[in-house]
Amino acid sequence: MPLVHLIHEAYTGIQGLSNDDLRAKTPELKQLVVDFIAEEKAEIANIKSRIGDDPDMEIEKKENLYQKVDALEKTIEEKTDEILLDILPEAFSVVKETAVRFNGNESIEVTANDFDRDLAASGDRIEIKGDKAIHLSTWMAGGNEVTWDMVHYDVQLIGGIILHQGKIAEMATGEGKTLVATLPIYLNALSGNGVHLVTVNDYLARRDSEWMGPIFEFHGLSVDCIDKHEPNSEERRIAYNADVTYGTNNEFGFDYLRDNMASSTEGLVQRKHNYAIVDEVDSVLIDDARTPLIISGPTPKGDQHEFHELKPRVEKLIQAQRKFVTQAISEAKRLFGEDEKNKDGGLAIYRAFRGLPRNKALIKYLSEEGIKTQMQKTENYYMQDQSKEMHIVDEELFFVIDEKNNSIELTEKGIDLITDSGEDSSFFILPDVGGEIAEIEKSGMSEQEQASKKDQLMRDFSIKGERIHTMNQLLKSYTLFERDVEYVIMDSKIKIVDEQTGRVMEGRRYSDGLHQAIEAKENVKVEAATQTYATVTLQNYFRMYHKLAGMTGTAETEAGELWDIYKLDVVVIPTNRPITRADHEDLIYKTTREKYNAVIEEIVELTSNGRPVLVGTTSVEISELLSRMLKMKNITHNVLNAKQHQREAEIVLNAGKPGAVTIATNMAGRGTDIKLGHGVVDAGGLAIIGTERHESRRVD
């Protein structure tokens, strides 16, 4: 019989229970799990006591016993999975009935236990009256007051089953993924081994732990959120020992790294990785998995650098290159005006692209019909025969940018420009160490003189290597990293903006001197350089879990990758009702100005009909530009970007009210719950205007 039917059967028996009897189901189910694996647990305890009682035991014998313990622990994991599947219908029914009772009543009265009293002492959601505990159905979550109004549909029960099986449930936007997760979380928490719910940002981790937590706490299961506590603290260890632990992917990963660096077992905060549900699983396991998590620390002489000394030279280079690129674009326009297939025009535009690929005038010109095709033809011509002719393109430039490989190289013309008169002509040129050593050895000098010359050569190589590296990082910071796009300045510090979530990544720094280069560019304090202490990729971290599951609205396109790397199946869950969202075709404009004017006109028209509008942008810079345009039209609006993240809960709360206008970066993309105000559905619902496509289709 299908599991959903078994849940319905079990549910009819649960419905008639009193509140106290409903709560008594949890210890009863926990005991079933304990009894099912009691034999193996007793055997492990027996083996460990034998090892402890005999300190002189032979190494080989001890090794064999520990291997036996490992085998028994594997058996326990398998048997736990087996018993959890057996009690699934009853466990899911308990959660559903709890949701029904919170939904239908302002409060639920039960006989108070110690757990209720502890919770009542630390919050105002539970009232203790004599020997009774009153659980209210209204509480604070994510800074806003919420009244419980949700009950699990059948499609959500299916989603819960899929998550329990360690698969990915793809559910459409608004289908209640957060609620679905309560079912497998409760079921797997009964084993006492802990359940981790992983979210993409700290706002969602805090909100979901506060929003869903009372359902678990009603049944005596402890809930905590690691993002509320400081790293390496006793509070964080307690959070990991809770039955249900919410947190962000990065914090789980960083805690694992910190545990690996701990000098004693007392310093550890995590326990064995049992079961994790990853919310927005494609974002975490694919988009974010490209960047490894790194813990770094101070390095000797880390505060010694040449960024400030070399900055004027870099600015001189940038100025000269900018001037040259502007001339090259004008030249290309003139030549293409005479003949649209002009080879010299193609060379000029390709030079401009190799010089400053992110130049706004160049990007605008390349968007004109046929221009990009001409440039690509030129590129193909010069890249043939292993770029044998590329020097013809590059000889006019001061430095060459290879955007694909994220690399920058100074040309001879550039080196001449920044090498001051009277300065060593090889000031920015690395010595040919092999050739120079051969010359020294042939010179007929004494061994002592040779050793001294070689030392001097290696010192020269090291100094120049560092100098050229500093130059390259400064050039990168000026040409490939833009303020309010890749980073923002807050509290006189450079803070990185996550390209996937649009949020500020607190405490993160670019590696290899790039962060210091950006600090020098923006005239803020240049922090000392750091070195890597520990690193792990999210891919490797999440593979450690005994069971891994995920939920998202956009995983089907990545199903192959998720199976290849994580052995995770994707199951598409049908919607509870047919989707009423109307998706329109893209509108393309010739110029940015026309596009933004059209966006403003659309906003005015939609809000006049009483519809709330959410405007999606790709960067902080564009969100602020649109905000200025709306201010000029006297249109009241909110901006949700990396600089405004403290007001996130308040902005999201008001975003669904009639006529509300919210401009947001992709911060509003993942898991943000916009509730529609009174009369909005009749007016046509929430209107979403995307101002441009993101790099990742899934963000859109």
The Cα-based distances of 668 to 173, 421, 448, 619, 649 in angstroms read 13, 54, 67, 12, 11
Instruction: Tell me what pLDDT residue 667 has.
Output: 65
Whether the model clears a pTM of 0.85, i.e. scores above it, the answer is: no
Mean pLDDT, rounded, of the chain: 90
CB 307 within 8 Å of CB 520:
yes
Instruction: Tell me what pLDDT residue 670 has.
Output: 59
The Cα-based distances of 598 to 59, 603, 634, 691 in angstroms read 77, 9, 16, 10
Query: Which 3 state secondary structure label does DSSP give 692?
Result: coil
Higher-pLDDT residue of 64, 668: 64
If pLDDT is split at 50, 70 and 90, which confidence band does 435 have?
confident
If pLDDT is split at 50, 70 and 90, which confidence band does 368 have?
confident
pLDDT tens for each residue of 588-638: 998 888 999 999 999 999 999 999 999 988 888 888 999 999 999 999 999
Instruction: Tell me what pLDDT residue 482 has.
Output: 92
pLDDT tens for each residue of 17-60: 999 999 999 999 999 999 999 999 999 999 999 988 888 889 99
Closest by Cα among 152, 185, 187 to 171: 152
CA distance 359 to 353: 8
CB 24 within 8 Å of CB 177:
no
The Cα-based distances of 240 to 232, 247, 375, 506 in angstroms read 11, 10, 55, 22
CA distance 106 to 96: 17
- % the chain with pLDDT above 90: 62
- Listed in order, strand segments (DSSP E) in 39-143 are 107-111, 126-129, 132-136, 138-141
If pLDDT is split at 50, 70 and 90, which confidence band does 699 have?
low
Side-chain-facing half-sphere of 677: CA atoms under 13 Å = 14
Q: Which range among 125-139, 157-171, 295-309, 415-429 shows the weakest confidence by mean pLDDT?
A: 415-429
pLDDT tens for each residue of 107-146: 999 999 999 999 999 888 999 999 999 999 999 998 889 9
The gap from C-alpha 324 to its chain's centroid, in whole angstroms, comes to: 39
What tokens were used for 86? 């057996």
CB 84 within 8 Å of CB 36:
no
Q: What is the mean pLDDT of residues 654-676?
A: 80
Closest by Cα among 25, 223, 220, 235 to 116: 220
Residue 101 phi/psi, 5-degree rounding, is -70, -40
Q: Which range among 234-238, 445-449, 520-524 shows the weakest confidence by mean pLDDT?
A: 445-449
pLDDT tens for each residue of 242-265: 999 999 999 999 999 999 999 998
Does residue 671 carry a pLDDT above 60?
Answer: no
pLDDT tens for each residue of 573-590: 999 888 888 888 999 998
If pLDDT is split at 50, 70 and 90, which confidence band does 422 have?
low
Indicate the residue type of 683.
A
- Of the ranges 248-257, 378-387, 412-421, the best mean pLDDT one: 248-257
- % the chain with pLDDT above 70: 98
Q: What is the mean pLDDT of residues 64-84?
A: 95
Instruction: Tell me what pLDDT residue 92 has.
Output: 98
Higher-pLDDT residue of 502, 392: 392
CB 680 within 8 Å of CB 610:
yes
**Who's near 523: CB < 8 A, 6+ residues apart?**
none
Q: Which range among 388-392, 424-428, 542-546 shows the weakest confidence by mean pLDDT?
A: 424-428
* Beta pairing, strands 126-129 & 132-136: antiparallel
Does residue 669 carry a pLDDT above 60?
Answer: no
Query: Which 3 state secondary structure label does DSSP give 590?
Result: coil
Structural domains present in the chain: 3-104+137-296+539-572 (3.40.50.300), 481-528 (3.90.1440.10), 592-690 (3.40.50.300)
CB 354 within 8 Å of CB 397:
yes
Instruction: Tell me the torsion sign for CA atoms 371, 376, 377, 378.
Output: positive
Tell me how many degrees the CA angle 537-538-542 measures, rounded to the nearest 5. 125
The H or E element containing residue 196 is strand 195-199
Residue 426 phi/psi, 5-degree rounding, is -100, 30
- Of the ranges 95-104, 480-489, 557-566, the best mean pLDDT one: 95-104
**Who's near 570: CB < 8 A, 6+ residues apart?**
167, 168, 170, 555, 556, 558, 559, 562, 563
**Who's near 66: CB < 8 A, 6+ residues apart?**
51
Indicate the residue type of 247.
G
If pLDDT is split at 50, 70 and 90, which confidence band does 698 have?
low
